[in-house]
Each structure stands twice: as structure tokens, then as C-alpha cells.
Amino acid sequence: MPLLIAFISGLVMSIGISYSQMIDPNKVLAFLTLNKNWDPSLLLVMISALLTYSMGYWLFAKKNKPILAEKFHLPTKADIDKPLVIGALLFGAGWGLAGYCPGPAIIAISSGSHGTLAFVAAMVLGWFISRHISIKP
């Protein structure tokens, strides 16, 4: 059952990201570029996502355990350290330069665009490299 719930959640997210055009790097870059051609439409998508998450969090945060799991898996680390800052900078630079973040990039693979395929290949390579590099906090 948890696998089915995860699949349905991913499917709904994929449809939402596709429908809102977050898989179009030009649309994302138009949102990230704050000039006279700024496109604020993705702000509505982000606000909607934040509201949806907030309602879910509000409904389930005070529960002892999730509905389909033995316990909640919440992060325990609360400090801001060097690996977090470097990761955030790399993520932001990649998003700003390419117009993709990981979720929409994976969904956009279906477009068959060479740029998308190259981005996803570089992203996967980066994940593998990051597993073998240790940055001291």
C-alpha cells in the first residue's frame, strides 16, 4: 500500500508540475529573472504548494505516527553548516542557469530534449560524485 500511495503522489505531482509549466526551463528562467519581462505565474504554483503542504502538516503534525508507517521520519539536524550552504549554492546556481530543479527535470525527460537529457545526466553524475566527496562541516 505505501508503494501505491507514493506512486499516486508522484503522479499527481508530475501532472501538477507539467500543467503549471514548471518543466519548461524558459518559463522558470522568466520567473527567476527579475526584470521588465518577469513572469510571476510560477509564484502562484509555489504558494499553492506551500498552502497544500501547510494544511497537511497542520492536520498530521500532532499525530503520534503516520497513517501508513510506524513512525515519522523527521530531520534531526537543525544547524546550518558548510555542506548545506554549498549544496544550496549549487542547487540555486543549477536552477538559475538551466531552469531546472531535479523533480521537473526528471519529468521533462519525456520531452526528449537534448538539453534536458544532458542536465539529468549531469545531475545523476553529480549525485554519484557527491557520495564520494566529503566536505567537513
Residue with cell 523527521: 74
pLDDT value of residue 137: 65
Q: How much is the pTM?
A: 0.73
Listed in sequence order, the DSSP H helices in the chain are 2-19, 25-32, 41-60, 82-98, 102-108, 114-130
Print the domain residue range for 118: 2-130
- Tell me if 68 is assigned to some domain: yes
- Tell me if 125 is assigned to some domain: yes
- d(C-alpha 16, C-alpha 10), whole Å: 10
Q: What is the mean pLDDT of residues 20-40?
A: 90
- Tell me if 135 is assigned to some domain: no
Kindly report, residue by residue over 79-125, the tens digit of the pLDDT: 999 888 988 998 899 888 888 888 899 999 988 889 899 999 999 99
Other Cβ atoms within 10 Å of 122 Cβ, number: 13
Length of the chain: 137
- d(C-alpha 11, C-alpha 6), whole Å: 9
* Number of structural domains the chain divides into: 1
